[in-house]
Structure 1
Amino acid sequence: MKVLITGSTGQVGSYLVDAMRGSAQVVAPTRAELDLQSEASIREAVRSVNPDWILHPAAYTAVDRAETERDLCFAINAAATRTFAEESLRINAGLVTFSTDYVFDGSADRAYREDDATAPINVYGESKLLAEQSLQEVGGLYFNFRTSWVYSARGNNFVKTMLRLASTRPELKVVADQQGCPSSAREIAACVTALVSRPKDELGGKAGNYHLAGQGETTWFGFAQEVIAQAKKLKPEMPWVEPEPVPSSAYVTPARRPANSRLCCDLARERLALSMPEWTKSIAEVVQELLAQQ
């Protein structure tokens, strides 16, 4: 099996490369080799590799900056995804893409399901929704995984930030009125690897949008509490600062965030036999890895 993976230096992409190398021929072009703003570059990359699967986690993820870089955000997140969809259909390859809880407005009082109405409240969410619509229009064997609050021992993410701030700042204030499902990049990659390792004829008729996130739910404040609790277990000699809860109004950002980012992942479990562990279990592993790096 030959697999083309984008975003190989990102959180999900780097773990996908690691996970797939044991069972497939992996081609993971760098940014210099694959320009996601260029339709020609994308088509050339796909046609030169002729993969069985395209795994496309690369994205524009600067949520606040996207409010003033709309064209760039849409080029990378929406237009590039459409091109990958068209190319995968042309060569009969499977396609895996990644979306976000930000396609919802966050007003629901329960975890969002795949068929709930979308209504993004920021540019980043709009770009990801357009990418989803492009996948549906083009068709083919595609699996679009909406995930949320991704963290790992790689790249920039909430866990890394909390460990840094809690060990260097006199106080740490964290938003307590936004709910979500923290998701391990390593576990996301493991699920995708399990999916694409199956024969394609087993996946026929199952293409579409799926929610894939860590089990359980919390707030950003609760997330921070768990990170610091794990850090204290591993390095009790460090002067870790306890997080303090604050409302979203305490942090005014260019892009609005949904108050509810919870995702119901029943469909992925029932139709694809994919599920991720409780988020607190994966957190312990990531914190340990990050502190060992220090």
Structure 2
Amino acid sequence: MKILVTGTSGQLALSLAERAKGKANIVLVGRPDLDLEDLATFAPVLKSVAPDMVINAAAHTGVDQQEDEPQRAFRINAEAPAELARLTRLAGIPIIQVSTDYVFDGKAAQPYSETDMPNPQTVYGRSKLAGEEAVRAGNPDHLVVRTAWVVSRHGRNFVKTMLRLSATRDRLQVVADQFGNPTEARDLADGLLAAAASWRKQGGFPQGLYHLAGQGRANWFELATHVFTVSASLGGPSALAEPVGSEQWPAKAARPANSQLSSDAFARDFSYRAGEWRERVAGLVTELVGSANR
């Protein structure tokens, strides 16, 4: 099965290429060949690659930056998925659109399920929700998968930032009143590959919208503390994390207080759950510290 994945350097794209060995032929395509800001580049790439499926793993994820450039955010996160959906429908192939917890306002007391009403509070959240809607409207053979708090050994993410900062600082203030599900990108990749295999076997997806995130709840302070504890045990960089409220770290774009996603529907229909976050983060930190010490 040949799967075209948008992006060549993102956490998910690289994790898909890594985890697909022996399962699928992943073709990563990004700029300049496929530019999410230039919709005219899409058709030639689809014709050249001739994939069996497309996974749109690329996006404009600069949450604060997008508050100043909403047109660009909607171009990349909404108009690009709309065009990909149109072209894949014409080609008779399915599309998987990766979305985000930011489509919710974060005010719920429990993890969000697929039936909860979105209410995005940021340009990023609104543009990603528009992308979801465009894919649903543009190609009936679609899957939208929302995820959250993605970390990996690739690109920029919270775990790598904490390790980098702790190499030069003894103390770090970390927000303790925002909760979510830390998700290892390889788990997300494995889940999407499981969904792709199911599509191939069943000839379609059971439903069009799912949540897939790591198991267990954490706040950023708890996540940072775990990173530092594991790193210190390996002789790596560490710092003392000090819990603070969101009001002490003002940002242009409001972060959801509750980003937890229920992945029960995904587990039911694809027989797959992402790993428990503490275990996965410990493994990731071990990799990162080990590679830095070599």
Structure-1 separation of matches of 2:205 and 2:193: 19
TM-score, with structure 1 as normaliser: 0.95
State yes or no: 1:282 paired with 2:270: no
Name the aligned partner's letter for residue 256 of structure 2: P
Name the aligned partner's letter for residue 138 of structure 1: G
CA shift in 2, pair 1:239/1:16, >3 Å = closer
Q: Which residue of 1 aligns with 2:259?
A: 261
Name the aligned partner's letter for residue 161 of structure 1: T
Structure 1 residue 207: Cα displacement = 3.6
Q: Which residue of 2 aligns with 1:74?
A: 74
Offset from partner CA, 1:85-126 (integer Å, 9 cap, x none): 111111121211110000000011110011101110110000
Structure 1 residue 199: Cα displacement = 5.0
Q: Which residue of 2 aligns with 1:215?
A: 215
Structure-2 separation of matches of 1:49 and 1:12: 20
State the identity as a percent: 39
Structure 1 residue 239: Cα displacement = 6.2
Structure-2 separation of matches of 1:21 and 1:87: 27
Q: Which residue of 2 aligns with 1:206?
A: 206
Name the aligned partner's letter for residue 154 of structure 2: R
Q: Which residue of 1 aligns with 2:164?
A: 164
Offset from partner CA, 1:111-167 (integer Å, 9 cap, x none): 001110111011000010001111221232211110000001111000001111122
* Structure 1 stretches of at least 4 aligned residues deviating more than 6 Å after TM superposition: none
SS for the counterpart of 2:55 is strand
Structure-1 separation of matches of 2:124 and 2:165: 26
Offset from partner CA, 1:266-288 (integer Å, 9 cap, x none): 11011222211111111111101
Name the aligned partner's letter for residue 267 of structure 1: A
Structure-2 separation of matches of 1:285 and 1:96: 28
CA contact (8 A) 1:141 1:207 kept: no
Bigger shift: residues 257-266 or 37-46: 37-46
Aligned CA-pair RMSD: 1.4
CA contact (8 A) 1:183 1:279 kept: yes
CA contact (8 A) 2:97 2:135 kept: no
Give the aligned length: 292
Matches within 5 A, 1:48-59: 48-59=48-59
Name the aligned partner's letter for residue 226 of structure 1: H
Structure-1 separation of matches of 2:136 and 2:239: 47
Gaps of 5+ in 2: none
Name the aligned partner's letter for residue 9 of structure 1: S
TM-score, with structure 2 as normaliser: 0.95
Matches within 5 A, 1:98-177: 98-177=98-177
SS for the counterpart of 2:221 is helix
Offset from partner CA, 1:192-239 (integer Å, 9 cap, x none): 12221335351535241110000000101111111111111111xx56
Offset from partner CA, 1:248-275 (integer Å, 9 cap, x none): 0001111111101000111101122221
Structure-2 separation of matches of 1:26 and 1:102: 28
Structure-2 separation of matches of 1:269 and 1:11: 22
